[in-house]
Amino acid sequence: MNLAFRLPAALAALAAVLIPLVIHLARRSEQRPTVFAALRWLRQKPKPRHRIRFDERLLLVLRALLVCLFATLLARPVLFGAQSHQAVVAVAPGVPASSVPKDARRLQPGIPITSQLRELDAMLPNDVALTVLVPRVLDGVDAEIPKLSRRVEWNVVDGEPLPAQTPPEAAPSLAVRYAPQRASSVPYLRAAAHAWQSPAPSGRVGIAPDVASTTRPIARGTPYLAWLSAGPIPADVLEWTRAGGTLLVETDATIADTPRMQAAWRDDNGTTWLESASFGRGRLLRFTHALTPAEMPVLLEGAFPRELRAALTQPTPAPARVLASAHAPTTGAAPYAPRPRDLDPWLLWLIAGLFAIERWIATGARRGVAA
């Protein structure tokens, strides 16, 4: 083990150890000689040589040691080589408990195993052997096989992977702005927005969609907006979309710089009902038919809310699964620098303990002098 300092220049504070010495020497000058009249006429003897003598030596040693510890704390000491060099066994979620050895490290479920292996590779010393126990199928892995700085013993054991858990998605908040001529199209989008929400215990829908005329401004924080109006889209609405919003428009809405659109919702017969394209940092979606049952019969089908929500939110695919035998880590990554152990917490506890002892001795000595 090697001791090092992050701020070695702070060791110059060790010169402050002279302060307790000066204080103890100055306290000796508080003793004043008292002259007795009967002794004045005796023959004076040669005075002995004056020697430096320290009183209360234990207190002096404690105070000097406290100053040295404070100076060392300012230098931020660290200790290299204090980590254990014992081989480590990591166990992935899904490995049966009967196959887990004692003192093995369990990897956390819900976090990609490749990320945890990279973190473990960075924390362990370079010469520590690493063994990983994994089930036959891994869930939630990265697209790339992990590359570590050490050789890993990859053992595949019989076990079932944990079921893929995806957090429930919150219902998208859709705002609707419509022109008076398109009031008949609003109920279909309002019904879809209500269908996205889970019913409350009382049976009522929790949040009503934001539906208003085109004259009302877009509320701050709105992620999805349906603009039901023919003709050019206002500049502020386009700017909101470029800033990251998702805009849903009808087939007769016009944009000066319309991007190239791609099919976002196509039924089993090959009919495209909705198309989309990137628009700045946001997205633009456009219906290919008028929002009437005659032109768009899917408005009356139960799949309309589900398909519209899928096109708006673009749900991420489920976590990928892979055979563990085909996902063994490779070697060749650059080794990590050794991680030193920080000694600051230990020094703080030692300083607190010595300070308590110093105070106890100092107050006890004063009580003894007063007595």
CA atoms of 344 and 350, how far apart (whole Å) = 10
Check residue 297 and give its pLDDT. 92
Is position 97 within any domain?
yes
Q: Classify burial at 160, counting beta carbons within 10 Å of its beta carbon; exposed 0-12, middle 13-18, buried 19 or more.
A: exposed
362 Rama sector, left if φ>0, alpha if ψ -120 to 50, beta otherwise:
alpha
Residues 350-361 pLDDT 10s:
999 999 998 888
Identify whether residues 210 and 304 lie together within a single domain.
yes
Q: 79: part of which helix (H) or strand (E)?
A: strand 77-80
Is position 154 within any domain?
yes
- According to DSSP, residue 292 is labeled S
Residue burial 278-296, b: 16+ Cβ < 10 Å; e: rest: ebeebbbbbbbbebeeeeb
Two tokens, residue 247: 């805009």
Contact 223, 256 (CB under 8 A): no
Listing DSSP states for 123-153 in one string gives HS-TT--EEEEE-SEEES--SS--EESS-EE
Check residue 121 and give its pLDDT. 86
Identify whether residues 159 and 197 lie together within a single domain.
no
CA atoms of 148 and 329, how far apart (whole Å) = 7
Identify whether residues 281 and 192 lie together within a single domain.
yes
Other beta carbons less than 10 A from residue 247's beta carbon: 24
Identify whether residues 160 and 182 lie together within a single domain.
no
Q: 5: part of which helix (H) or strand (E)?
A: strand 2-5
Check residue 141 and give its pLDDT. 76
Identify whether residues 201 and 278 lie together within a single domain.
yes
Taking the alpha carbons at both ends of the chain, their separation in whole angstroms is 50
Please report, in tens digits, the pLDDT of each residue of the chain (371 residues total): 677 888 888 888 888 888 877 777 776 555 566 666 665 566 665 555 555 555 677 888 888 899 888 888 888 888 776 666 788 888 888 888 888 888 888 888 877 788 888 888 888 888 888 899 888 888 777 767 888 888 889 988 886 555 555 555 566 788 999 999 999 999 999 888 888 876 555 455 556 678 999 999 988 888 899 999 999 999 999 999 988 899 999 999 988 777 788 888 988 888 999 999 888 888 999 999 999 999 999 999 888 998 998 888 875 444 567 888 888 888 888 877 766 778 888 899 999 999 999 888 888 755 444 43
Check residue 199 and give its pLDDT. 59
Domain holding 142, by residue range, is: 88-164+320-331
Is position 153 within any domain?
yes
Identify whether residues 265 and 185 lie together within a single domain.
yes
Identify whether residues 304 and 327 lie together within a single domain.
no
Identify whether residues 57 and 111 lie together within a single domain.
no
CA atoms of 110 and 164, how far apart (whole Å) = 9
Q: What dihedral do alpha carbons 58, 59, 60, 62 form, nearest 10°?
A: 90
Is position 242 within any domain?
yes
Two tokens, residue 211: 């539906």
Identify whether residues 280 and 184 lie together within a single domain.
yes
Residues sharing a CB contact under 8 Å with residue 239, sequence separation 6 or more, in sequence order: none
Domain total of the chain: 3
- According to DSSP, residue 331 is labeled E
Residue bearing tokens 């633009």:
284
The amino acid sitting at 343 is: L
Residues 321-343 pLDDT 10s:
788 888 888 888 887 776 677 88
Is position 249 within any domain?
yes
245 Rama sector, left if φ>0, alpha if ψ -120 to 50, beta otherwise:
beta
The amino acid sitting at 15 is: A
Is position 151 within any domain?
yes
Is position 73 within any domain?
yes
Listing DSSP states for 194-206 in one string gives HHHSPPPTTS--S
Strands 77-80 and 2-5: antiparallel
Identify whether residues 179 and 304 lie together within a single domain.
yes
Is position 37 within any domain?
no
CA atoms of 180 and 315, how far apart (whole Å) = 33
Check residue 285 and give its pLDDT. 93
Identify whether residues 179 and 306 lie together within a single domain.
yes
Identify whether residues 71 and 145 lie together within a single domain.
no
Q: Classify burial at 214, counting beta carbons within 10 Å of its beta carbon; exposed 0-12, middle 13-18, buried 19 or more.
A: middle
